[in-house]
Structures are given as C-alpha cells and as structure tokens.
Chains A and B, each alone.
Chain A
Amino acid sequence: MVRDVSFGQYFPGKSLIHRLDPRAKLLIFIAYIVIIFCTFNFAALAVTTAFTALFLVLSKIPFKFYFKSLKVVIFIVIFTSLLNLFYGSGEALWQWWIFRITWEGIQRAIFVTVRIICLMLASSCLTFTTSPTELTDALERLMRPLKVIHFPVHEIAMMMSLALRFVPTLLEETDKIMQAQKARGADMESGNLVKRVKALIPILIPLFVSAFRRAYDVATAMECRCYRGGAGRTRMKQIHMGPRDVSALVVTALVIAGVILCNIFVTGVF
C-alpha cells in the first residue's frame, strides 16, 4: 500500500531534535549537505559520520524507520558505488575482462556510499522530527530577506504548505480509489509495462478530478475566511531561537571546522 512509505513522514515526539527551532534545523541541514560533499579524506568522513550518528540517536526515532527510508535509495547506492568501483584510475588490484578494480576505485565507492546514506539519513531525520507546518514556517522566515527583490516569499511558502498538507490526503484518496477499482476487478499487479500503465488510468482520472475539486474547495474556504495574502498576517505558533538552538548551531560550526581541519592537516589520498 502507498501508505507504507515512511520517507517524509512526521513522527511526533519530544526529543531534543524535535524541540529545536525549525530554522536552526533547516540551517544545520543545509550546512550538513555542504560538508558531506566537502569530505576529502577518511578522517573528515569519519567526523561527519559521527555527527550523523549523534543526531540520529538524539532524535529518539526507532532505527527501523531510518532503515526503511534507506530502502528507497538502496538501488541508487548499489548502482553508483559499482560505477565508481570500476572506474577508478591507477594500478589495478584485480582485473577480469573489462572490469578493473583499483585502490582509488574502492575508496571512491566507499565515499559515495557513505555520502548518499548519510544524506538520506539526515533528510529522514529532518522530516521525521519536523512537522510540515514548522518546515514551511521556517522556510518563510529564512527567505524573508528576499522580499527586498520582490520575491513572493509568503505565496511560495503558502503553496508549499498547502501542497504538503494535501500529500497525505491525496495518498489516502489514491488508496481509496485503488481499493474501489480493485473491488471491480482492476488488475494492477500483473501484465507487461503497457498493460500496467493502462491499469493506472482508472486511478489517475478520478484522482485528478478530485484533486481539482479539492483545490476549488480550499480556495473557496480560504476566501470565506478573508484570506488576502501575507500582508499583516500574524501566526499562531511563534518560533523562537533559544540557547538550545544557538548551541546546536555552534556544534555544527565546530563540526564544519573539524571537517576543514581534517581535510587540511590529515595527509592522505584525494
């Protein structure tokens, strides 16, 4: 069933990571993506991996959900690491037909695997511990300076939160329609590609029809409550940066510094 996908789901909780200001989390996440791709030797990679492990543990989300989210990318991980494994240059350690494995290839494969896995774990951690509302709120606040150049910050954030809001609704709807068509004997599990694509028509058409209907309903409901854009709007949940958030940012800064130091001072490959 579609609802089994755990990637992107929010798990309510009260852990330290849950309670962090969403803006801090978002900033840390962006910084994290940058440093994960700036790890040039094993020492730096180890530092970022340890950092990842730290916030995974602090999030207090059962590890099996993280494993589940990794399932989605397992194919990409295997594919890219194999590509890297066979395309390294230098002295061959092992060779057969066109396949050549070099020390450099092995290293590259390890780096790429660890990077993708860490990236996936970090983004899962962000969505597991931050509700969609918090996330879009944080985005809106962080993008506020862009208003100077007349970038429609509020509108973008509103669209995002509406879109996110309707993801579960549409999933549920898809599920319902699938059940209804299955009850009429729709066969979605067998046949070749053409047949399977055709089998989607009875699901997609009702889904589109209802998505449009919902869009009109939401627009009407918003107008009924006098929605007229972002000007002068206050919010129910204020977000505050506290000492906790500042210390989290400081820790992240230290990790970045550590990674840079490792890159410079630990001599090695790459």
Chain B
Amino acid sequence: MNCILELKNVGFVYGRGTPFEKRAVDNVNLTINEGELIGVIGHTGSGKSTLMQMLNGLIRPSDGQVLLGGKDIWAEPKKIREVRFRVGMVFQYPEYQLFEETVYKDICFGPQNRGLSGKELDEAVRKAADFTGLKPELLEKSPFDLSGGEKRRAAIAGVIAMNPEVLVLDEPTAGLDPMGREVLLSQIVRYHKERHNTVLLVSHTMEDVARVADRVLVMNRGRLSMFAPTKEVFSHADELEKSGLKVPQITKIMQDLRRQGFDVPEGVLTVDEAFEVLAPILKKEGKLW
C-alpha cells in the first residue's frame, strides 16, 4: 500500500510566549495509506482538530514535518494552496461557510479556485452534489433557504467538488437527526468506496467510527495514544476510558458477556456482528428457533 500522509514528530503550541501558551499537539508520528478510511477519536480539547488542520497546511506545525505523497508540505510555503486542494477539509458545522447566491455557485467556489471551468466544473459540481445526496433542484436555490441538513450537504459537496485525494471530515454528523446521520454516513462510505480516496473521519460517536473505519486514531491530551485497526482499538476499553472515551455499547455488552464466561470473540463492533455471534449460542441453548 502506498503511504499518502506521513507525520514526523509533529507538535503545535498555541500563543507561544504569551500567558495563554498551550501545547495542543505533542510529538505525533504516524503514516496514513492511500485509500484508507481512518476514524479519529478523542476527548474535547485532545488536539484532534488542531492535528487535522495541520494536514492541509491551515496550521503550520511548531515542530516536525507533515509529508504529503513523500514531500514536506511546507517546503515551499507559497505553494501551500496546492496542498489545500489535495487535502480537502470539511470543518465542524460547515454550513456557516456558505456565502453565494445559489447552492450551485457555492459548490463552484472550491473547484473554481483550483482552476476548473466550463464542462469540467459543471461535472465536478453535479457529481459532488450527487455524492452528498443533494437534489438537483436545490442547486438553483439560495443556500440560506435550505434546511440545516441540506446546508450541511451543500457545504460538504463544496469540498468534495475540488476532488481532493484526502478528505478530512470534522464531525460531519454533529447536530443532525438520527436519520440524517445515518444517511450522511453511508454517503461518505459510498464516496470512499467509489473514489478509492483516503478519508479521515473525526467523530464523537463511537458507533459510527466502529462501523465504518479501517483504522482508528485515538488522541489524548495532544498525544497520539493509539493508532490501530478498529477491532484492536475497541478491545482496549480500559485504555480508551483513560482517554475519556467509551467503546460502542454493543462492544461493551459483548465484553461483559465474555467476562461472564460466554464464548464470544473480543472486539465485536456492530449489532449485526453481535447477532451473528450470539444466534448459534442461543440456538444451542434452545432459546432461539
């Protein structure tokens, strides 16, 4: 597998030299491979947002290097915009960045900055809108007339339309209703599968991360506390709790069952998976027909 992003001893300090000095990220080393879907979890203030903003050069690390495709992104600070097109970033509550007269024009903003025009641009916009499930008739509306969920989709489409190699989503489902979360999440997965892009998903919902991520990155107090395949991370319930996090409920239930002596595997992440495991046991005991 090709490594696309690499962080070497990356650290960041806010307000260096003032009474408000705060170390947000401390000595992080990691590599991310092309085509992976990475879940990023961590307590509020653990430094995950800062870390994400360093990936596309919005924040310049105080220490260390960020390598994109093997090249230090800060080697030529004047060309940092190129990096931002290659690593797309969707912020928390991205709906507040909409500004154009129509949704279509707003989605155009990113790809236009990248230099797309004419048919190419139109295609990029319509594809992005389709990926996020934005109905074509909404494209001609003003972004301020959309509902909250639709605004969110429009904003995400605005980033996807730039066709980035890496897509970073900072809590894309925050504040949406359960149905909206579900749909948006599956659309992200679909996008990932169809484009074979690298996706980083920051989330507070362990169930979401457990369901979709290949690997999970855990941040705690500015440090990288774990970075391993999803099953492995969620079998370390104690360690996660130390970071102020929890494993998904179903994982917790299965772990408790295991402790009670039932023969179930560790690191069960979804309800479906749990059903597969539990059904034979219940059948054997004659409690399920």
Q: Which residue of A lies closest to B80 (CB)?
A: A182
Q: Which residue of A lies closest to B159 (CB)?
A: A184
B residues near A179, Cβ cutoff 8 Å? 53, 58, 91
A33 to chain B, nearest CB (A): 28
Are B144's CB and A185's CB within 8 A?
A: no
Are B84's CB and A180's CB within 8 A?
A: no
Are A185's CB and B113's CB within 8 A?
A: yes
A30 CB–B CB distance under 8 Å? no
Residue of B17, B19, B88 most packed against chain A (CB within 10 A): B19
Count of chain B residues with a beta carbon within 8 Å of a chain A beta carbon: 24
B192 CB–A CB distance under 8 Å? no
B residues near A12, Cβ cutoff 8 Å? 19
A186 CB–B CB distance under 8 Å? yes
Are B99's CB and A202's CB within 8 A?
A: yes
Distance, CA A177 to CA B98, complexed state (A): 10
A residues near B159, Cβ cutoff 8 Å? 183-184
Distance, CA A187 to CA B84, complexed state (A): 11
A residues near B91, Cβ cutoff 8 Å? 176, 179-180, 183
Are A206's CB and B99's CB within 8 A?
A: yes
A residues near B53, Cβ cutoff 8 Å? 179
Prevailing SS type, chain A contact patch:
helix
Are A183's CB and B99's CB within 8 A?
A: no
B residues 123-160 touching A (CB-CB < 8 Å): 144, 158-159
B124 to chain A, nearest CB (A): 13
Given contacts A183-B84, A184-B162, contact A177 B113 (CB under 8 A): no
B residues 59-97 touching A (CB-CB < 8 Å): 81, 84-85, 88-89, 91, 94, 96-97
A205 to chain B, nearest CB (A): 4
Interface bits A27-48 vs B (CB < 8 Å: 1, else 0): 0000000000000000000000
Q: Range of interface residues on chain A?
A: 20 to 34
A residues near B96, Cβ cutoff 8 Å? 176-177, 180, 206, 209-210
A residues near B84, Cβ cutoff 8 Å? 182-185
Interface bits A176-218 vs B (CB < 8 Å: 1, else 0): 1101111111110000000000000110011001100000000
A63 CB–B CB distance under 8 Å? no
Distance, CA A12 to CA B84, complexed state (A): 37
A residues near B56, Cβ cutoff 8 Å? 183
A11 CB–B CB distance under 8 Å? yes
Cβ-defined partner of B110 (8 Å) among A64, A177, A184, A201:
A184
B158 to chain A, nearest CB (A): 6
B114 CB–A CB distance under 8 Å? yes
B16 to chain A, nearest CB (A): 11
B residues 235-286 touching A (CB-CB < 8 Å): none
B residues near A201, Cβ cutoff 8 Å? 99
Are B58's CB and A206's CB within 8 A?
A: no
A residues near B97, Cβ cutoff 8 Å? 177, 180-181, 184, 202, 206
A residues near B85, Cβ cutoff 8 Å? 185
B87 to chain A, nearest CB (A): 9
A residues near B144, Cβ cutoff 8 Å? 209
Are B89's CB and A183's CB within 8 A?
A: yes
Q: Which residue of B lies closest to A176 (CB)?
A: B91
Distance, CA A125 to CA B85, complexed state (A): 44
Please provide the 3 A-B residue pairs with the shortest distance between their CB atoms, ordered closest to farther: A185-B113, A205-B99, A184-B110
Task: Give residues in A with beta carbon < 8 Å to B.
Answer: 11-12, 64, 176-177, 179-187, 201-202, 205-206, 209-210
Known: A177-B96, A182-B84. 7 other contacts (CB 8 A): A180-B89, A180-B96, A181-B97, A184-B159, A185-B114, A209-B96, A210-B96
A and B contact pairs by CB, cutoff 8 A, 23 listed: A176-B91, A177-B96, A177-B97, A179-B58, A180-B89, A180-B91, A180-B94, A181-B97, A182-B84, A183-B89, A183-B91, A183-B159, A184-B84, A184-B113, A184-B158, A185-B84, A185-B110, A185-B113, A187-B81, A202-B97, A206-B96, A206-B97, A209-B144
